[in-house]
Amino acid sequence: MGSYSLAMDNNFYASQLNERQLEVVTDTENPVLVLAGAGSGKTRSLIYRTAYLIKEKQVHPWNILIVTFTNKAARELQERLEKLLNIPVRSLWVGTFHAICCRILRFESAHLPFNANFSIYDEDTQKSLLKKIYKEYGFDKQSFPINNILTRISRYKNKLMLPEDIKFQGEDKDSEFATFLNIYRLYQQQLLLNQALDFDDILLWTAKLLLHNNTVREKYRAQFQYVMIDEYQDTNKAQFEIVHQIAGGHQRVCVVGDDDQAIYSFRGASLRNILEFEKDYNSVHSIRLEQNYRSTGNILALANAVIANNRRRHSKELWSELPEGDKPVLAVYENEIEEANRITDAILKLQKKGIPLREIAVLYRTNAQSRVFESALIQAEIPYSIVGGVQFYQRKEIKDLLAYLYVLSNLNDNESLLRIINEPARGIGQTSINRLISFANKTRISLFRAIQNVEAIEELGNPAKKRISEFCLLLERWQQSVSRKPALEMVKTIVEELGLISHYQNSNDPQDIARAENLVEFVTSVSEFSEHFYQEYEREPLIADYLPYVALQTDLDRVKENMDSIRLMTLHNAKGLEFEAVFIAGLEDELLPHRMCMNNQDSIEEERRLFYVGITRAKNYLHLSYTKSRRLYDTFYFPVPSQFLAEVDSRLFYHSDGDFGIAQPPKRIKKTNKVITESQKYYKIGQKVFHPEYGLGVILSVDGEGEDARLTISFGNRLAKIIGRYLMKNEE
């Protein structure tokens, strides 16, 4: 142990840490709950605690387990630790839950129904596997959408429930639940036959192994004498059990987290784990890290005021020895275009003050909101990069829709045609596509001409020929209109007839909901382009006019990672990052809080935590904004400022330089966390309604109030504008 005995006395630690951080480092023998506020130095505390264990407590690195939220965080922790200790600590177990569990499963494969060389299936491979199961057993994709099934399977696995663990509770064998359970059982069987695990399996099998195998559990309890878990508020049930089974015996566990930054419930994370840690372990030492090293006092004052409205939380209040700084700006704009343009102007002014572009972030709730900012930044020739996502026009659902437009504009565009031939799924399989390509190559004609001459392809069966012919007729019909119909009308026709928005809206998968929002935003972009084009040329633009505009946006050089560029990202993707200046846009009810989260108190609180995360990313400058109107599809609606703004004292905001139209937070009769009821807001975006003729639909935009409101509604494959009084609310 001599190599680990370099002197680091308590004076050294005291000189490097504040009083609370020092407690985290030196209390190594009890269960420790570290409630680490944003920017409070939690990573530093973990690094010094590990150094303390190795140098002062003489603990071998391989007897320490540290679980981080990301691989990047694991690498950073190890590198900083080695720099501090000036020795390699490669035997330290540090990594994400998935990385740690994979190591355990490979070591312990003798106790498991798969071998050590198991494959790991990503989402695409999972879907491919399910498609084969559906085909073999005749399951209906419409009744049991694959994305929904995968989400449902994931939820059960996060609860540590395999098919054999799920009990019928009086359900009929022919019920929907029975069919789902059958799909789940077949899916799991296929995984095992393939010696494969999905990402949820990695956690599930590790938890089950530790729960039910005494030998394995005691082995890892003996090995991991000290356990540290970062971002504990983001753990699910399976992760909780893994930690508890390893650390529950010796109780030498330190968890670090912030319940005020718990924003991943849609991934299965359970806030309960951090809120009830003191019930799970004996004589817990709770330590609050409240000193913030990132943000100025006025930014922290707003953050504290916002999060204080949540009920389910450990009380804490961030403070800083940094200057008070500028108050956050709250600005109101006429619409989202002005919002993007004015924020772009403000970015240029910050740049002139010497702030690097990479130190400026624009945050928003949904990916679809990035489009107007991308356009504004392009116009201003400001480089930008999208963190945790792709550029708007590079997103799959947008590229799919653009491919239709390219094909209709140029029937010889084989690449675009290949992209859409079975998108959305219309039963044209890869074998049929390969035979089409072969025929086109052999006869030296375009792929579209091959499709037109499908009857001449002998290798194709009649069902395939029929489906291809139907696809051909669809394109031919649209192509006849493309040279005379306005671009907006053409795009809406394609979206509606393909049922793209309703296809994604009917899913429970958060990714699919985001895709629906992106498609609505695409139609919005065409509507805006059409307006500007008409003003300039006094005619409605055609598809041929619109496509070059898009090409100029997508053909720009990609922003390099090392370039000085603005960061655009959702609030979820901003977690763990910090910037000199932060803009949070779209602070409106139905955006933040999101419309999908407004009917549930827990969801409202998570949305408020999301807002809190955004605020606490800012070091010195924070700019918040909302709009008076916002375009949705080809109409406008008039949003209500976010209820979160009404909860805080207006004196927490100001504007200083005249660059922003200052807005006071909306005055409400009562500061409240209550759920917005149907009676408070009769019609709202995302609400399901029923029309006697058109059937069940989803509201896309609201113009006006009450029963006189003018609504844009998606009824499956068609859109309609209807006055509210002619509808019935869907009570489901």
3-state secondary structure of 472: helix
Is the distance from CB of 241 to CB of 210 less than 8 angstroms? yes
Helices (H), 161-252: 176-193, 199-212, 214-223, 237-247
Q: How far apart are CA 232 and CA 242, in angstroms?
A: 12
Angle 396-409/487-498 helices, nearest 10 degrees? 120
What are the angstrom distances between the C-alpha of 132 and each of 126, 187, 192, 560?
10, 10, 15, 40
Active site residues: 42-43, 230-231, 261, 617
The continuous run of DSSP H or E covering 612 comes out as helix 601-615
Helices (H), 426-498: 430-443, 447-452, 462-481, 487-498
Tell me which residue has tokens 């633009």.
541
Is the distance from CB of 298 to CB of 304 less than 8 angstroms? no
What are the angstrom distances between the C-alpha of 342 and each of 492, 653, 687?
30, 18, 32
3-state secondary structure of 321: coil
Is the distance from CB of 333 to CB of 342 less than 8 angstroms? yes
Sign of the C-alpha dihedral computed for residues 640, 644, 646 and 650 taken in this order: negative
What are the angstrom distances between the C-alpha of 410 and each of 71, 221, 415?
45, 65, 11
3-state secondary structure of 453: coil
Q: How far apart are CA 618 and CA 507, in angstroms?
A: 35
Q: Is the peptide bond before 424 cis (omega within 30 degrees of 0)?
A: yes
The continuous run of DSSP H or E covering 715 comes out as strand 710-715
213: exposed, middle or buried (Cβ count in 10 Å: 0-12, 13-18, 19+): middle
611: exposed, middle or buried (Cβ count in 10 Å: 0-12, 13-18, 19+): buried
Maximum alpha-carbon separation in the chain: 87
Listing DSSP states for 624-677 in one string gives: EEEES-EEETTEEE-PPBPHHHHTS-GGG----SSSS-B-PPPP-SS---PPPP
What are the angstrom distances between the C-alpha of 552 and each of 37, 88, 520?
44, 50, 21
- Amino acid at the residue 192: L
Is the distance from CB of 642 to CB of 386 less than 8 angstroms? no
In 3D space, the residue among 150, 162, 248, 149 whose CA is nearest the CA of residue 208 turns out to be 162
Tell how many helices (H) and how many strands (E) occur in the chain: 27, 21
In 3D space, the residue among 220, 276, 290, 271 whose CA is nearest the CA of residue 248 turns out to be 220
The continuous run of DSSP H or E covering 547 comes out as helix 543-554
